[in-house]
Amino acid sequence: MIFNFYSMKKYAYDLGLGLRFAILALLFALGFMGCDREDEPIPSYLTIEPFELQETDLGWHGSISQKITHADIFMFDSTGNESISLGVFELPATIPVINKGSFSLNIDPVIKANGSSLSLQAYPFYTRFSKNINLKTDVPQVVKPTTKYHEDAVFEVIEDFENDNFIFSVERDGNTNTTVVRSTEDVFEGQYVGLVKLDTANAGIVAQTEDLFDLSIATSGKIFIELNYKTDVPLTFGIIPVSDNGQEGEPIWEWFVVARGEWNKIYFNLTDAISSTNFNRFAIAFTSTIPFEDGKFTLLEANIMFDNFKLVHF
């Protein structure tokens, strides 16, 4: 057997050279990564607590129950005349912010329009919260935002069921056994709530407001319903257009509520539905029935409870 010592020597040399190059490349990469870590900015942390809705005039705006679930947050840098959007966050939220210095922090209260997390909207009738902050490296800050009803908000109706005459007094189903009555049962606020009792002999209800509301979109702008509710069965809310001569248009049933065993707050956005009609006056209506499945009712009895119904617009 013949050994080629020259070839073996060259192979060892090449192997050593390759190894040295590999070590140098690794050291360079580690050095580069180390530089990245050194240059990486250290954020400050901004914690936004849940909103508080403040009372201004209970006789004007009624209850201050609210369900502000999210916040649209941005900062304004007056030095650079620059607006910096931080995004929309579910509250409470802790947000890392790399910007440093003095800013005007602005927070818009955001609700789930129509009860949907896919329809997050800054509620137009709540005011924006603003505060000057000074952001410093790795210094956390906690902000507790407040809001109130916008001074230009018009409350077309506020129904807290504390008086004898209340909305949804007109029967549309012809069954006087299913009506909205005042009740002291499981009260949300005050002394009374609106209550509907259903059973298998009186399994459904369709009721509307006696009053007609002038909601011309040209003058009203945004139009919402606010409502506290608790219900054993699903509900559907709608608007009934009515012409000047009293002729009804086609009802629009677009707003849904699922059964819920605890009191909840919901906001219905009526703006687009009303703007799609040629009417200016509307009644508000709701309907519900005990579900019927596999040849039988799913419940023998069901309660529907309302409180703090508001129709509000600009």
pTM of the predicted model as reported, rounded to 2 decimal places: 0.85
Q: Is the pLDDT of residue 7 over 70?
A: no
Query: What is the structure's pLDDT at 29?
Result: 54
Query: What is the structure's pLDDT at 1?
Result: 47
For 119, 168, 227, the CA distances from 220, given in Å and listed in that order, are 21, 23, 20
CATH topology for 154-313 is Jelly Rolls (2.60.120)
SS3 content of the chain, % helix, strand, coil (to 5): 15, 45, 40
**The listed CATH number (2.60.40, 2.40.50, 1.20.1070, 3.10.28) that belongs to domain 44-147:** 2.60.40
- Taking alpha carbons only, the member of 83, 47, 67 closest to residue 121 is 67
**Sole residue written with tokens 């901004």:** 46
DSSP class of residue 41 equals P
Of the pLDDT bands very low, low, confident and very high (cuts 50, 70, 90), residue 94 is very high
Average pLDDT over residues 17-25: 51
Of the pLDDT bands very low, low, confident and very high (cuts 50, 70, 90), residue 277 is very high
Of the pLDDT bands very low, low, confident and very high (cuts 50, 70, 90), residue 239 is very high
Query: What is the structure's pLDDT at 27?
Result: 53
- Residue 100 phi, psi (nearest 5): -125, 150
- Which tokens in the block code for residue 69? 């679930």
Q: Is the pLDDT of residue 13 over 80?
A: no
Domain boundaries, the chain: 44-147, 154-313
Of the pLDDT bands very low, low, confident and very high (cuts 50, 70, 90), residue 216 is confident
Pairing of strands 93-97, 44-48: antiparallel
- Which tokens in the block code for residue 132? 């000057």
Report the b/e string of 219-256 with b at 16+ CB within 10 A.
Answer: ebebbbbbbbbbbbbbbebbbbbbeeeeeeeebbeebe
